[in-house]
């Protein structure tokens, strides 16, 4: 406790430096650009700016990196809502309802809701990081191979609710996503499968590359073919935006649930913000009174997805700072940044570098406030994008897709992979196969395979002891229960729908 309060006091003082506040602002602007461009992810944004922070004091450098992390996680929603192309994998669920809202002429409202939801989710998760980090970190360690495997299965059960319109096609799409994700090396034996000699596929289909192809290319085709339903003009973002943002507080329970899901998923090392937003979306859909609206422009869908993925930010930093175990790829990069600034992550961090760590955590609060006005300001101009003539917007989106898929690993091979997946995405759209289950499968596949193989290896190949282990671990039981509940509710809905 004493460490906490002295840290808050000293960290707060460090944060009051005007230069630090300016860097947070600059980081936010940069993060929003990075986040909203498909292909530039939060991980890249932070990694690319680590060298820029060399010349700064650790407190300033970390505040800058933190601001990028917060704002880029939020900004992917802008392109998801306006263009039907998710800016980062975590915004895949946002477009399910965000884009239909745009089509209804409510793009301003959708952006206001996603901004407010992101800010609330982010803010609450930083609270958890500040006050609950040590116990939450212990919880993170309770996750072993079998829990991860069950978590992946739970994630897969969400496919059912993502594909209500056509269950069989949804399931095929999900399975294909899982399949594409496990292409490459077997996580335990190292045997290489289905790569056809392409080394870029050794660790599975690269997620961001796939996402760009899956959404950008079909979208370009549909806007250039003029096949898209007319998008109604939206009243500009800005007028009455405050009132629209306040709308999220009509959904207090939803906000809270999405935040908790985001924090928990964030804490678990290896699970990322995309899983959080899928799970929160599914949860919101099942618990909502208007679940029929989901997928047709439900504000609740946008709120759930965006709140959860920003709540991951605080969660993922819990094990990173307290144990030195990063919760996801972005926090791994942030940890690297910490170390280069001479800070040692782990239990001693909070004592040895008390002031810097707390100034970093406090700066995240500021970042979560700052991206609201900055985001709305930028979005106000982005809304005009949908008024751009198709013959100009289309080629630009292709240009960005090519650049984005190249920039991830500076590889032209991945540009070709992006195009192949683009063809797949076009065909899926053409034949009415939902694409979101495929993305979910891509996120979960290698986790499901690897963790099952590990869990089996840990019990020396005995299926019986694996099942016994699952039935005696409280966390495993809870996840199994949630999975069954989710499946049961899905089946019940299908039965009811058929009468």
Partner 1 sequence: MNGQKRILGTLLALVAFVASFAAVAPSMASAADYPTKPVVAIVPFSPGGGNDILLRLVAKYITPALGEALIVENKPGAGGQVGWTALSKARADGYTIGATSLPSMILIKSLREDVPFSLDDFQYICNFQVDPIIWVVNADSQFGTARDIVDFAKANPKKLNVAGDGPQSNVQLQHLVAAKLLEISSNFVSYSGSGPALTALLGKQVDMAATTLSSAIPHIEGGRLRPLVLFYSAKMEAIADTPTAKEAFGIEIPSIGMALRGVAAPKDVKAEQIATLEKAFKAVAESPEFLEQAESLGLAIQFMGSQESTALVTETAALVEQYKSLFEEK
Partner 2 sequence: MAANSYKKELGFSVVVTGICALLTIRAFSYPGDSSQFPRFLTVTMTLLSIVLLARALRSRPDQAEAGEAEQKRSSFWTSHKMPLLIFLLTALYVVAIQVIGYFTSTVLFLVGSMAFFGRHRPWVMFGISALFLAVIYALFVRFLGLRLPEGLLF
Residues at the contact surface with partner 2, assessed by CB under 8 A: 33, 48, 51, 168-169, 171-172, 175-176, 178-179, 182, 186, 189, 191, 193-194, 217, 220-221, 224-225, 389-392, 394-396, 398-399, 402-403, 406-407, 410, 412, 415-416, 419, 422-423, 426, 431, 448-449, 452-453
Q: Does the footprint of partner 1 cover residue 239 (CB under 8 A)?
A: no
Burial class of residue 370 (count of CB atoms within 10 Å of its CB; 0-12, 13-18, 19+): buried
Contacts of partner 1 in 81-110 (CB under 8 A) = none
Beta carbon of residue 499, minimum distance to partner 1 (angstroms, whole number): 48
Find the part of the chain contacting partner 1 (CB under 8 A) among 90-98, 189-197, 233-241, 279-287.
189-197
308 forms part of the interface with partner 1 (CB under 8 A): no
Among 348, 396, 427, 477, binds partner 1 (CB under 8 A): 348
Q: 327: which 2 tokens?
A: 């919760």
Q: Which does 452 bind (CB under 5 to 8 A by kind): partner 2, partner 1, none?
A: partner 2
Question: Contacting partner 1 (CB under 8 A), which of 18, 168, 190, 464?
Answer: 190
Question: 12 is in the binding site of which of partner 1, partner 2, none (Cβ under 5 to 8 A by kind)?
Answer: none
Asked if 152 touches partner 1 (CB under 8 A), the answer is no
Q: Specify the residue, 230 or 410, whose C-beta has the smaller distance to partner 2.
A: 410
Does position 197 interact with partner 1 (CB under 8 A)? The reply is yes
Using CA of residue 325, residue 11, residue 367, residue 306, what is the dihedral sign? positive
Q: Is 270 in the site for partner 1 (CB under 8 A)?
A: yes
CA distance 86 to 81: 8
CB of 178 to partner 2, least distance (A): 6
Per-residue contact track with partner 1, 49 to 68, x per CB under 8 A?
-xx--x--------------
Question: Does 233 sit near partner 1 (CB under 8 A)?
Answer: no
Stretch that binds partner 1, among 194-202, 296-304, 427-435, 437-445 (CB under 8 A): 194-202
Burial class (CB in 10 A: 0-12, 13-18, 19+), 412: exposed
Does the footprint of partner 1 cover residue 409 (CB under 8 A)?
Answer: yes
Q: Which is nearer to partner 1, 410 or 497 (CB)?
A: 410
**Cα(258)–Cα(308) distance, integer angstroms:** 5
The residue range among 2-10, 288-296, 376-384, 404-412 that interacts with partner 1, by the rule CB under 8 A, is: 404-412
Taking CB within 5 to 8 Å according to partner kind, which of partner 2, partner 1, none is near residue 472? Answer: none
Pick the closer one to partner 1 by CB: 143 or 371: 143
Query: Which CB sits closer to partner 2, 29 or 80?
Result: 29
Give every CB contact of residue 139 below 8 A, 6+ residues apart in sequence.
Answer: 267
CB of 10 to partner 1, least distance (A): 21
From partner 2, partner 1, none, which one binds at residue 194 (CB under 5 to 8 Å depending on kind)?
Answer: partner 2
Nearer to partner 2, 226 or 342 (CB): 226
Question: d(Cα 485, Cα 466) in Å, to the nearest integer?
Answer: 22
**Does 208 interact with partner 1 (rule: CB under 8 A)?**
no
* Phi, psi of 163, rounded to the nearest 5 degrees: -130, 50
Give 185's strand partners. Answer: 192
Minimum CB–partner distance for residue 7 and partner 1 (Å): 18
Q: Which of 10, 104, 169, 454 binds partner 1 (CB under 8 A)?
A: 454
Contact set with partner 1 (CB under 8 A): 43, 47, 50-51, 54, 141-145, 184-190, 192, 197, 199-200, 202-203, 269-270, 319, 323-326, 329, 332-333, 335-336, 339-340, 342, 344-348, 409-411, 450, 454, 457-458, 460
């Amino acid at each position: 406790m004493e460490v906490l309060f002295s840290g808050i006091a000293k960290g707060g003082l460090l944060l009051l430096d005007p230069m630090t506040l300016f860097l947070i602002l600059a980081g936010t602007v940069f993060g929003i650009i990075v986040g909203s461009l498909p292909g530039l992810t939060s991980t890249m944004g932070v990694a690319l700016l680590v060298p820029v922070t060399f010349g700064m004091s650790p407190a300033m450098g970390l505040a800058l990196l933190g601001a990028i992390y917060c704002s880029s996680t939020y900004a992917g929603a802008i392109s998801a809502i306006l263009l039907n192309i998710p800016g980062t994998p975590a915004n895949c669920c946002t477009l399910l309802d965000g884009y239909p809202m745009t089509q209804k002429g409510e793009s301003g409202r959708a952006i206001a809701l996603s901004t407010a939801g992101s800010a609330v989710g982010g803010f609450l998760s930083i609270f958890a990081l500040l006050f609950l980090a040590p116990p939450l970190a212990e919880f993170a360690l309770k996750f072993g191979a079998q829990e991860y495997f069950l978590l992946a299965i739970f994630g897969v059960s969400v496919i059912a609710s993502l594909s209500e319109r056509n269950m069989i096609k949804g399931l095929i799409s999900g399975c294909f996503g899982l399949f594409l994700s496990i292409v490459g090396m077997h996580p335990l034996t190292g045997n290489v499968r289905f790569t056809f000699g392409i080394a870029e596929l050794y660790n599975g289909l690269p997620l961001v590359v796939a996402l760009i192809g899956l959404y950008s290319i079909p979208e370009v085709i549909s806007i250039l073919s003029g096949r898209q339903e007319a998008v109604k003009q939206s009243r500009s973002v800005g007028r009455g935006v405050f009132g629209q943002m306040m709308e999220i507080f009509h959904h207090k329970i939803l906000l809270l649930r999405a935040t908790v899901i985001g924090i928990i998923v964030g804490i678990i090392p290896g699970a990322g913000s995309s899983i959080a937003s899928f799970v929160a979306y599914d949860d919101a859909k099942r618990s909502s009174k208007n679940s029929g609206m989901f997928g047709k422009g439900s504000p609740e869908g946008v709120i759930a997805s965006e709140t959860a993925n920003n709540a991951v930010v605080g969660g993922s930093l819990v094990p990173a700072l307290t144990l030195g175990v990063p919760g996801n790829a972005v926090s791994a990069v942030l940890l690297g940044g910490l170390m280069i600034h001479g800070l040692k992550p782990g239990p001693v961090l909070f004592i040895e570098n008390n002031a810097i760590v707390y100034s970093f955590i406090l700066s995240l609060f500021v970042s979560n406030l700052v991206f609201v006005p900055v985001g709305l300001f930028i979005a106000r101009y982005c809304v005009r994008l949908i008024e751009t003539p198709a013959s100009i917007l289309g080629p630009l989106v292709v240009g960005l897709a090519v650049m984005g898929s190249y920039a991830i690993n500076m590889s032209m091979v991945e540009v070709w992979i992006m195009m192949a997946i683009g063809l797949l995405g076009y065909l899926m759209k053409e034949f009415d196969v939902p694409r979101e289950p495929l993305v979910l499968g891509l996120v979960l596949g290698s986790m499901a395979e690897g963790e099952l193989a590990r869990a089996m290896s840990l019990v020396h190949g005995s299926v019986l002891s694996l099942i016994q282990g699952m039935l005696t671990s409280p966390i495993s039981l809870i996840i199994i229960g949630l999975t069954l509940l989710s499946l049961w509710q899905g089946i019940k809905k299908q039965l009811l729908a058929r009468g």
